[in-house]
Amino acid sequence: MKYLMRKRLVGLRISVLLILVLSIVLAGCANTNKKEAASPAVSDDKTSSSSTPAENTPPPSADISEFVELIWYMPPPLDPRPNEANVMKAVNEVLKEKINAHVTIKFVDWATYVQKIKVAASAGEEFDLFSDLLGTLGFSQNVSSGIAMELDDLINKYGQDIVKKVPNQAWQAVTSQGKKYGIANPSAWVNSFNIAMRKDIADKYAIDYASIHSYKDLEPVLESLKNKEPDMIPFVGYGPGYAAFQQTFDKISPMIGYDVVDGKWKSQLEEQTWIDLVKMMHDWAQKGYIPKKVITDANAEFKTGRYAVASYHIYDPSFVKTSTDFGVPMVATPLDFHNVVTGSSIRTAVSYVSTTSKHPERAMMLLNLIYSDKEFFNKFAYGVEGEDWNYVSGKGTDNPIIKTSEKTNWAMWHPWIGSLWDQWPSNWNSKEVLDGLKATIDKAEYSPYAGFTFDSTPVKKEMAQIDAIFPELTPVFLAGDVDASIAKLKEKVDKAGLSEVLKEIQKQVDAWKATNS
């Protein structure tokens, strides 16, 4: 989460990361924007979002007599943040009362964040929490370098409200050698891909858009629009990464992953789902159903008014979010995709306790408070009432509807600090959007390798050479001969050392299976 941030507020760096790391990534944020882990600390409810009343105070055994200062590192969700001082003052008033602590969030620019965390940790700098967003730091790296603290004891003592809300299966992705090292904040781990269509076009031709649930269903509609609207291109097509296709490839890098469909480790070029999509795009481009060019920003391209249909990553049955993002009244219908929750998608937003922390117990209490107290969590995320947001309805209830101010002076995307499913509905995400995303996640399959993390060190050179080929995949659908183009790319990947990488993957997979049963 994705996501989970307003496109006009977030830099190009984040967009690139989303493409390379996770096509779904922080989907579900601002509208301008089943193998279980064996652990006695985890609830038996696989898809739980507990309705048990939250405990907003520390457990009786916790000693909070000493006032402590906590430091939390993360990239900036918004820059600048004019109301940061007021928001943090309000946050710390609650923390002083609840856990007798004060937190300072140190925002570090995305371009230097990885280096900053590495330097700070190696220098022994004392800080308590740090966030890994979109896998920029990397789980295996955090564990192997010793930056991330083992959390089992802390979670057992001070993090039980977190346990209630993180699905059992998700702990696999942040577990190494049987120990938990992070907290994977629940988010849109798979997207609710859908077909969005201009409402005026659907009305004009009485298109039964609600019956469209696959590309096969969509094709006759595109053919009809091509004939009836000759000045329009029926479908805006796809941008880099081919976001709108089934997520059945559990990637360990942009080019290599585990194909859940046939149970094999391979390169993207050998994944049948991707091949089928590329060939379909090629066919549609030849027929004039989509542009004969690579679209880098489908939303912006759609707003030119030259298109009737687009794909979208979040299904909103009210069509409000869809219409807002495309700038014109829209209708939409969900695609019946086979989506799989993968390790990389689970690790979209992970909270860690630093091994240099002097107050790890209090750090875990802070994280637990975010999960146990929805009011605190949402005010942390949205800012100060009356300055950053106002109630629309339901004030005083556990799940009110709010609206943020037109000018955003503070924003903390919910999965960056806690569970997306505890977000108050707002103009960022409506209740319908949140419920739809949650339903998609609850019914999704989990990759059997969601808990496997690959150490690329033994094949670092080969991996770098293979992943460097990834950008060449985007324009394949424009080739005169798609099969020949894919064959040439396969040859390049083979020469770059794919066989060596696959051997190393299998070696590590065997060791991982032996350790993790």
* Three-class DSSP category at 183: strand
Nearest to 302 by CA among 279, 322, 277, 285: 322
140 near 508, Cβ under 8 Å? no
Q: How many residues are there in the chain?
A: 517
Nearest to 32 by CA among 469, 428, 386: 428
Residue 473 DSSP label = G
Domains within the chain, CATH numbers bracketed: 68-188+344-438 (3.40.190.10)
The Cβ of residue 484 has, within 10 Å, a number of other Cβ atoms equal to 10
Q: Characterize the bridge pairing of strands 179-180 and 175-176.
A: antiparallel
pLDDT tens per residue across span 385-437: 999 999 999 999 999 999 999 999 999 999 999 999 999 999 999 998 899 88
Q: Hey, which residues does 424 pair with through a beta bridge? A: none
Residue 478 DSSP label = G
Specify the pLDDT at position 440.
85
* Alpha carbon of residue 66 to chain centroid: 37
* Three-class DSSP category at 88: helix
Distance in angstroms (rounded) separating the CA atoms of residues 99 and 102 = 9
Low-confidence ranges of the chain (pLDDT < 70): 1-61, 238-245, 517
Specify the pLDDT at position 330.
97
pTM of the model: 0.79
Nearest to 280 by CA among 245, 247, 250, 234: 245
Q: What is the largest CA-CA distance in the chain?
A: 75
Specify the pLDDT at position 3.
35
160 near 368, Cβ under 8 Å? yes
Specify the pLDDT at position 239.
54
Specify the pLDDT at position 58.
58
Write out the H or E segment, with its range, that includes residue 480: none
User: Tokens in use for 386?
Assistant: 């009356």
Specify the pLDDT at position 439.
87
Specify the pLDDT at position 388.
97
User: Tokens in use for 304?
Assistant: 């030119």
Distance in angstroms (rounded) separating the CA atoms of residues 210 and 493 = 41
Specify the pLDDT at position 422.
97
Q: Characterize the bridge pairing of strands 307-312 and 233-235.
A: parallel
329 near 203, Cβ under 8 Å? no
Specify the pLDDT at position 248.
85
Average pLDDT, the chain: 86
- Cα separation values, 81 from 267, 383, 388, 479, Å: 41, 11, 11, 45
pLDDT tens per residue across span 250-293: 888 889 999 998 999 999 999 998 899 999 999 999 999 999 98
